[in-house]
Amino acid sequence: IAGTSPTIDTESINDLLEYLKNNLKKGDILSLSGSVPNSLPTSIYADIIESLPNGVKVVLDTRGEPFEAALKKGVFLIKPNQDEINEFFKANFSTNEELINAGKKLQAMGAKNVLISLGAKGSIFISDSSTYIAGVPKGELISSNGSGDSMIGGFIYGLDNNLDLENCYKYGIASGSATAFSKGLAKFETTQTLLKEIEIKNI
């Protein structure tokens, strides 16, 4: 169920920007996710990034103009899926090699790390020094709704616990899969169980 986006006035946005500026600090993590309400400019995510103190890690998960504008400001992590990459580049990439090359182009445009979700085919993670490919753990798909958001949640959990990026990636896969295999959202216990089944290949 998707509701109509609320109308957000300029005063509320200014209050938000001021709050983020004054309360976030180096090392904090901010997730900017979802479509932009019609009452806001498509530059809103870029405006938020500009308001942040140096050293805040921004995770960006959106598409279209808001994505492009925010990407140019520099972000720690993006999580496009295959369709979103093809939409952005106006292309029809299908092989891992093509998607990795596209991911590296996105790095050159402002993303330090790129996590590409491929649904049942797994995912690709590109950091500044390594490229990883992983499948998905075994399980019965109940609903993929929310699995992409859960993947980001798992990755951020890893960051918040000072894990290296490879293990952040594993937590992302496990969390996204746990949601896909559940009637609701991922439970931490399920995520931990699936974590043991994940194999990541460094290419």
Annotated active-site positions, please?
149
Q: Edge-to-edge, what's the strand order for the sheet holding 75-78? A: 29-33, 57-61, 75-78, 111-117, 123-126, 131-134, 200-202
Q: Fill in the amino acid letter for 2.
A: A
What distance in Å separates the CA atoms of residue 175 and residue 150, rounded to the nearest whole number?
5
No. of helices (H) and no. of strands (E), the chain = 8, 7
Task: Name the DSSP class of 112.
Answer: E
